[in-house]
């Protein structure tokens, strides 16, 4: 089959992308470059024409991907050189994470760097021989210009092809050596957990909270580990570090003080100036972390962040038919850098009355550390001072909290008039699974049924359209069609979300498919040492190009939870809900090979460290029986108290949930809470404060 339409109506440019389901690919359809989407056609074309492949991997949320599209790939000389010498392939990393994973690894082995856009030059067989990330059209930004790079690669391919193929073989050899050097030494899980603890604590930033230096990413899995560590060891330093990190992120520019939700990371150590894209996967993880924080510390600030993040997820990512889009872009126009999210003093004075403007300026540090480097008149809002201190000397007509709320509402209305950044409305199973679990937990914590209902509608849609009992869940939904079966991340994230939703609504409708998906994970994704591969060859429905069937193991958090750690947590959670050792033993068997591979990974082993720790922490079941205000108070107390592995039910849930329940029934009109740890249950509890106290304890029950 020819890759070009017949003359005289031959189309040029990126016409093959015009009908792509990915908005990121469609945005390149008007470029002069003859882009191919990922697939066998491009590699057949490369082999038939003896040309190398130029591979560009990016995403709709990626600022520098847009810069390269708008500057480099729109340059006529760049387009001419690509058309003359290369077969060009463009990939959306959200649509094909398995492709991105393999090429990030190959380019990283060559250059020591990775990220997006990922730019790679491949043999027609799909192996990297040169690569990098962002390239400007001409020399600049400390990088060689792409015109020069393309010309030199084309020359080498023509004059010294064996040299480039030797490069490709060298990269593959380097990866093979890396695989052969993987530790196979057994690591005891208690030692592994101790090592994770030590490395997390040593990487903590005592000045600004969080971990590491700039650029500064949130590490919600590390926060979860610290909370668990404080719970089981009574270690105040872990608790203090978790709380301070949550506070600093919530008060910083990383959190959108006007619209809610979190940006991807901060470019500085103090959380002041973010990289402005907002990712569904990041906000799901952070929403869970702030539910944990609100339960553990009982601080209204954390509850505010939970509400604000839920609001952003639902209003910006929410799909009217159920489910959630993937991300919100950083930019709203070519050349933009955060103008939608930032404010000048003049804009604040125009929108707010003088007292409000003065309070907002002081409270949010306008003109201080969060001025945009390229335009110091524009500011990211962050909480610089306590509100009472910021209000001193400001003549307000109401309490400061009321004035601040009124001002923020005006800013929200004004910002809504600005051209918004694009939202990628693609529905991915992994992102939706994480959001389903986080929203189910947030809704029960807040006592807001509509939030749980949003999670339920997302789950119902994916189960109806994308789930197959014999194949698991597909990666992507497009209307009523789906694609991308056989990816581990989708299975474990969606199953984990279904487990949390099943608890929130006490329904086997979500528990049963979660268990079936985990059975497929156990059967289809096993690889070396019992670890879980990112792709199951027997289920994968995309062309097996460029080694996508080769084993690859997602073990480290990045910084959100790795797929193997997510599987271990889901196995453990299922064992706790069903009171079946079978699933707990699956977690117990998976974690030692993980530990042997990533011992020493520190922050990036936090999810696995938490999963290993939970094996030594008895799960707790709370069943609240009765109706009326007393039952509601008991249920609220249970759902607003933190425990690392608790399932709270309003009434006795149906099979296949399993738990030990003391004999006896609730008297008519009375309410009680049954608190069971393992197979031991405490006498019924009728007072909310007593339930909180017992649930907060590492040994919450006494045998009845």
pLDDT tens across 306-339, in order? Answer: 999 999 999 999 999 999 999 999 988 888 889 9
Q: Tell me: cis bond preceding 324? Omega within 30 of 0 counts.
A: no
Whole-number percent of the chain with pLDDT over 70: 96
Report how far residue 568's alpha carbon sits from residue 103's, in angstroms, rounded to the nearest whole number. 26
Residues 6+ apart with CB under 8 A from 642: 227, 231, 292, 295, 296, 696
The boundaries of the domain holding residue 412 are: 341-417
Among 172-186, 246-260, 398-412, 415-429, the least confident range: 172-186
Asked whether residue 21 carries a pLDDT value surpassing 70, the answer given is yes
The candidate with the shortest Cα–Cα distance to 75, out of 151, 3, 157, 158, is: 151
Q: Is the pLDDT of residue 4 over 60?
A: no
- Using alpha carbons only, give the angle 134, 137, 142 rounded to the nearest 5 degrees: 55
Average pLDDT of the residues in 672-689: 90
Residues in the chain: 704
What's the confidence (pLDDT) of residue 679? 72
Q: What is the domain count for the chain?
A: 3
- For residue 69, give the CATH number of its domain: 3.40.30.10
Range 633-647 average pLDDT: 97
With respect to residue 467, please indicate whether it lies within any of the assigned structural domains: no
* Number of other CB atoms surrounding residue 271 within 10 Å: 30
- Residue-level pLDDT at 380: 98
Q: What share of the chain in percent tops pLDDT 90?
A: 86
530 contacts 588 by C-beta, under 8 angstroms: no
Average pLDDT, the chain: 93
The β-bridge partners of 89 are: 36, 55
- Buried-exposed string 481-490: b where 16+ CB fall within 10 A, e elsewhere: ebebbbbbbb
Structural contact between residues 610 and 224, judged by C-beta atoms closer than 8 angstroms: yes
Rounded CA separation 641/27 (Å): 47
Confidence of residue 5 (pLDDT cuts 50, 70, 90): very low
Tokens found for residue 441: 């937990």
Could you tell me if residue 25 is inside a domain?
A: yes
Query: Does residue 560 fall inside a structural domain?
Result: no
Question: Which tokens go with 689?
Answer: 């404060």
Strand pairing class (118-122; 265-266): unpaired
What is the DSSP track for 582-624?
A: HHHHHHHHHHHHHHHHHTT-GGGGHHHHHHHHHTTS--EEEEE
* Separation between Cα atoms, residue 114 and residue 100, nearest integer Å: 10
pLDDT digits (tens, 9 = 90+) for 22-57: 999 999 999 999 999 999 999 999 999 999 999 999
pLDDT at 278 over 60: yes
DSSP string, 210-233: SBSSSSB---HHHHHHHHHHHHHH
Confidence label for 500 from pLDDT (cuts 50, 70 and 90): very high
pLDDT band at 659 (very low <50, low <70, confident <90, very high): low
- Does the residue 306 lie in any domain? no
End-of-domain residue from the set 417, 450, 485? 417
**CA–CA separation, 588 vs 594, rounded Å?**
11
Name every residue whose Cβ is closer than 8 Å to that of residue 415 and which is 6 or more positions away in sequence: 258, 259, 340
Tell me, what's the pLDDT at 178? 77
Residue 398 CB burial class (10 angstroms; 0-12, 13-18, ≥19): exposed
**β-strand partners of 676:** 621, 681
Residue 18 per-residue DSSP state: T
**Would you call 652 helix, strand, or coil by DSSP?**
coil
Angle at 100 between CA 499 and CA 109, to 5 degrees: 120
Domain boundary among 395, 417, 439: 417
- Helix-helix angle 488-505:508-524, to 10 degrees: 160
- Name the phi and psi angles at 481, rounded to 5: -105, 155
For residue 689, how many other CB atoms are within 10 A of its CB?
Answer: 10
- Model pTM? 0.95
Mean pLDDT of 617-640: 96
pLDDT of residue 310: 98
Question: 186 in a domain, yes or no?
Answer: no
Q: What is the pLDDT of residues 74-102, one digit of tens each?
A: 999 999 999 999 999 999 999 999 999 99
Tokens found for residue 420? 């918004």
Establish if 30 belongs to a structural domain. yes
**Which of 368, 396, 417 marks a domain boundary?**
417
- pLDDT (tens digit per residue) in 100-147: 999 999 999 999 889 999 999 999 999 999 999 999 999 977 889 999
Q: Does residue 317 sit within a domain?
A: no
Give residue 619's pLDDT.
Answer: 93
- Confidence at residue 668, expressed as pLDDT on a 0 to 100 scale: 53
Dihedral, CA atoms, 334, 338, 339, 340, nearest 10 degrees? 100
Q: 19 is written with which tokens?
A: 């009908």
Q: Is 73 inside any structural domain?
A: yes
Residue 703 has pLDDT above 70, yes or no: no
């Amino acid at each position: 089959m020819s890759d070009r339409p017949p003359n005289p109506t031959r189309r040029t440019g990126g016409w093959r992308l015009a009908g792509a389901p990915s908005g990121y690919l469609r945005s390149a359809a008007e470029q002069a470059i003859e882009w191919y989407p990922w697939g066998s056609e491009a590699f057949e074309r490369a082999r038939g024409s003896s040309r190398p492949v130029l591979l560009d991997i990016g995403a709709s949320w990626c600022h520098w991907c847009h810069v390269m599209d708008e500057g480099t790939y729109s340059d006529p000389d760049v387009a001419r050189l690509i058309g003359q010498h290369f077969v060009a392939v463009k990939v959306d990393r959200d649509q094909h994470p398995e492709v991105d994973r393999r090429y990030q690894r190959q380019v990283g082995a060559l250059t020591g760097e990775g990220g997006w856009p990922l730019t790679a030059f491949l043999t027609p067989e799909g192996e990297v021989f040169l690569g990098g990330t962002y390239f400007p059209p001409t020399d600049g930004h400390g990088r060689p210009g792409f015109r020069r790079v393309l010309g030199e690669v084309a020359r080498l391919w023509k004059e010294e092809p064996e040299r480039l193929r030797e490069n490709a073989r060298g990269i593959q050899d380097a990866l093979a050596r890396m695989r052969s050097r993987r530790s196979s030494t057994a690591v005891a899980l208690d030692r592994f957990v101790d090592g994770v603890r030590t490395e997390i604590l040593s990487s903590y930033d005592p000045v600004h909270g969080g971990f590491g230096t700039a650029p500064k990413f949130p590490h919600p899995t590390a926060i979860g580990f610290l909370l668990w560590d404080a719970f089981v060891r009574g270690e105040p330093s872990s608790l203090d570090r978790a709380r301070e990190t949550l506070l600093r992120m919530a008060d910083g520019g990383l959190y959108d003080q006007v619209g809610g939700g979190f940006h991807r990371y901060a470019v500085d150590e103090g959380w002041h100036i973010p990289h402005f894209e907002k990712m569904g996967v990041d906000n799901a993880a952070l929403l869970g972390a702030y539910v944990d924080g609100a339960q553990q510390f009982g601080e209204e600030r954390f509850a505010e962040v939970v509400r604000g993040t839920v609001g952003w997820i639902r209003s910006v990512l929410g799909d009217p038919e159920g489910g959630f889009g993937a991300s919100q872009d950083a930019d709203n126009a070519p050349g933009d850098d955060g103008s939608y999210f930032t404010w000048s003093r003049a804009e604040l004075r125009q929108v707010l009355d003088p007292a409000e403007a003065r309070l907002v300026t002081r409270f949010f540090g306008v003109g201080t550390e969060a001025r945009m480097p390229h335009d110091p008149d524009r500011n990211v809002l962050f909480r610089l001072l306590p509100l009472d201190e910021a209000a001193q000397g400001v003549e307000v007509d109401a309490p400061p909290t009321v004035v601040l709320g009124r001002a923020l509402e005006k800013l929200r209305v004004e910002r809504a008039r600005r051209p918004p950044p694009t939202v990628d409305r693609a529905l991915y199973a992994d992102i939706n699974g994480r959001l389903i679990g986080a929203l189910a937990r947030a809704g029960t914590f807040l006592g807001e049924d509509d939030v749980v209902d949003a999670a339920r509608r997302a789950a119902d849609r994916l189960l109806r359209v994308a789930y197959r009992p014999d194949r698991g869940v597909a990666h992507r939904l497009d209307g009523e069609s789906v694609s991308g079966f056989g990816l581990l991340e989708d299975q474990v994230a969606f199953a984990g979300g279904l487990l949390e939703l099943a608890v929130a609504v006490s329904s086997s409708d979500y528990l049963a498919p979660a268990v079936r998906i985990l059975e497929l994970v156990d059967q289809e994704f096993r690889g070396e040492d019992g670890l879980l591969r990112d792709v199951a060859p027997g289920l994968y429905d995309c062309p097996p190009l460029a080694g996508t069937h080769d084993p690859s193991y997602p073990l480290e958090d990045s910084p959100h939870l790795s797929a193997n750690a997510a599987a271990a947590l889901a196995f453990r959670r299922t064992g706790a809900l069903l009171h079946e050792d079978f699933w707990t033993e699956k977690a117990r068997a998976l974690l030692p090979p993980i530990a042997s591979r990533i011992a020493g990974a520190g922050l990036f082993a936090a999810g696995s460290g938490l999963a290993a720790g939970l094996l030594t922490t008895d799960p707790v079941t709370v069943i609240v029986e009765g109706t009326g205000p007393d039952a509601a108070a008991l249920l609220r107390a249970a759902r607003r108290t933190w425990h690392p592995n608790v399932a709270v039910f309003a009434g006795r849930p149906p099979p296949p949930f399993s738990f030990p329940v003391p004999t006896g029934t609730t008297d008519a009109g009375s309410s009680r809470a049954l608190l069971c740890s393992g197979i031991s249950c405490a006498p019924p509890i009728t007072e909310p404060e007593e339930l909180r106290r017992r649930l907060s304890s590492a040994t919450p029950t006494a045998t009845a």
